[in-house]
């Protein structure tokens, strides 16, 4: 249920920014998004967001200093991914 980056890129190339061209805070937020574990419901195979219980550990490990800015960017990423998961879930249910 993850993002198919290649498909998204082909659909709208102008919106894409190379990782290296992102601000350091944006790169750090993406890194956090990738290392934080997902909250899943095994029975329904549902995604319920990220588990933030180890957030401070990863922020220290990744040497993040602007906690507030990076955290707000991380929340934005989680929100956008949540929208994507909801759309994918709806598509799957409509196929049944």
Q: Render pLDDT for 57-91 as a digit per residue (tens, 0 to 9).
A: 999 999 999 999 999 999 999 999 888 888 888 88
Question: How many angstroms separate the CA atoms of 84 and 91, rounded?
Answer: 11
Question: How many angstroms separate the CA atoms of 70 and 28, rounded?
Answer: 7
Query: In this structure, is the dihedral angle defined by the CA atoms of residues 61, 67, 70 and 73, taken in order, positive or negative?
Result: positive
Per-residue pLDDT of 20-39, as tens digits, reads: 888 999 999 999 999 998 88
Determine the pLDDT at residue 72: 97
Cα dihedral 94/13/26/40 (nearest 10): 20
Phi and psi for 95 in degrees, rounded to 5?
Answer: -75, -20
* Straight-line distance from the first to the last Cα atom of the chain, in angstroms, rounded to the nearest whole number: 16
Determine the pLDDT at residue 77: 93
């Amino acid at each position: 249920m993850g993002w198919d980056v290649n498909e998204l890129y082909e659909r709208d190339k102008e919106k894409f920014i190379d990782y290296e061209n992102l601000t350091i805070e944006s790169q750090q937020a993406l890194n956090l998004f990738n290392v934080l574990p997902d909250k899943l419901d095994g029975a329904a195979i549902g995604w319920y967001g990220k588990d933030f219980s180890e957030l401070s550990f990863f922020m220290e490990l990744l040497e993040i200093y602007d906690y507030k800015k990076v955290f707000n960017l991380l929340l934005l990423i989680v929100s956008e991914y949540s929208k994507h998961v909801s759309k994918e879930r709806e598509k799957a249910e409509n196929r049944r």
